[in-house]
């Protein structure tokens, strides 16, 4: 029977190139010295980039280039309320709690992107919700985070309704394996006055040069209305995103 180690290296590279990138790094790399060298080398990743119709002649590190070009995806799950409150944990349900509504909503404006159809809305006491992203589970292995330290870009969108004032806050933390805070961004408490234009506003922050050890991103946002009206007159949020970028 043909043993894997007797295959010509070029053939082995072709086989490995068809394996999902995360599996290459987390499993195949550990099989033996030869496989580790292939996964750490450029040839495999060049082939992977080319077969994925990716090409970047000057990429210093094909492995990082492959991952970061493939991975420019939103790591926040259910960012627009299409799955109710699924994937959002540590929820603080002040007043009448979180609710999901269809855009544009009462006294609201359409969202700048046609792909967004819903939003989360807060009540008359603080409503907060959070999501913790496990970077390793998403395919960003330790060495990449520690050495390359790719940018972690955080974005959120918020709006008031034109007949009510409200408050909004965003807090994002980069956490270690033991969930120590290695970097943090906290917006001020943003006040939207009553009789506002109900326009959607984007807030963003980019983490870079944050040092080694980052394994999780904790995203939390929330708000309330300032009139203490029963129901859902507080800040509206949607289209939250966390991306890892080269």
Residues 6+ apart with CB under 8 A from 42: 62, 63
**99 and 148 in a common domain:** yes
What CATH number corresponds to the domain at position 18?
A: 1.20.1280.50
The domain that holds 137 is classified in CATH as 2.60.120.260
Q: What's the rounded Cα separation, in Å, for the pair 37 and 49?
A: 18
Instruction: Please check whether residue 243 is in contact with residue 206, taking contact to mean a CB–CB distance below 8 angstroms.
Output: no
Structure tokens at 120: 């989360």
What's the structural domain count of the chain?
Answer: 2
Query: How far, in Å, CA of 69 to CA of 138, rounded?
Result: 14
Is residue 138 domain-shared with residue 238, that is, in the same domain? Answer: yes
- Same domain (yes/no): 123, 220: yes
The Cα–Cα gap between 119 and 166 comes to 15
The whole model's pTM is what?
0.76
Q: Which domain holds residue 33?
A: 4-69
pLDDT tens-place values along the chain, 246 residues long: 567 667 888 888 888 988 888 788 888 988 888 888 888 877 788 777 766 634 444 444 566 666 666 657 899 999 999 999 999 987 799 999 999 999 999 999 999 999 999 999 999 999 999 999 999 888 788 888 898 888 999 999 999 999 999 999 999 999 999 999 999 999 999 999 999 999 999 999 999 999 999 999 999 999 999 999 999 999 999 999 999 986
Q: Is 81 domain-assigned?
A: no
User: Does 222 lie in the same domain as 174?
Assistant: yes
- Nearest to 128, CA basis, from 92, 161, 177, 101: 92
- Mark whether 61 and 95 lie in a shared domain: no
């Amino acid at each position: 029977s043909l043993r894997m180690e007797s295959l010509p290296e070029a053939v082995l590279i072709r086989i490995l190139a068809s394996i999902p990138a995360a599996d290459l790094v987390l499993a195949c790399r550990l099989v033996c010295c030869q496989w580790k060298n292939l996964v750490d080398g450029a040839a495999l990743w060049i082939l992977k980039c080319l077969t994925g119709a990716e090409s970047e002649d000057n990429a210093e590190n094909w492995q990082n280039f492959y991952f970061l070009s493939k991975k420019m995806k939103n790591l926040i799950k259910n960012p627009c309320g299409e799955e109710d409150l699924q994937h959002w944990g540590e929820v603080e349900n002040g007043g009448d709690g979180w609710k999901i509504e269809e855009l544009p909503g009462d006294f609201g404006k359409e969202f700048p992107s046609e792909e967004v159809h819903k939003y989360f809305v807060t009540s008359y006491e603080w409503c907060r919700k959070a999501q913790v992203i496990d970077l390793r589970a998403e395919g960003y292995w330790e060495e990449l985070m520690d050495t390359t330290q790719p940018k972690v870009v955080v974005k959120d969108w918020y709006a008031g309704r034109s007949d009510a004032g409200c408050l909004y806050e965003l807090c994002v933390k980069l956490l270690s394996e033991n969930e120590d805070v290695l970097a943090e961004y906290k917006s001020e408490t943003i006040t939207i006055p009553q009789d506002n234009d109900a326009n959607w506003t984007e807030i963003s922050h980019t983490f870079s040069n944050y040092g080694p050890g980052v394994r999780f991103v904790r995203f939390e946002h929330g708000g309330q209305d300032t009139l203490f009206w029963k129901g859902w007159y507080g800040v509206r949020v949607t289209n939250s995103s966390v991306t890892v970028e080269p």
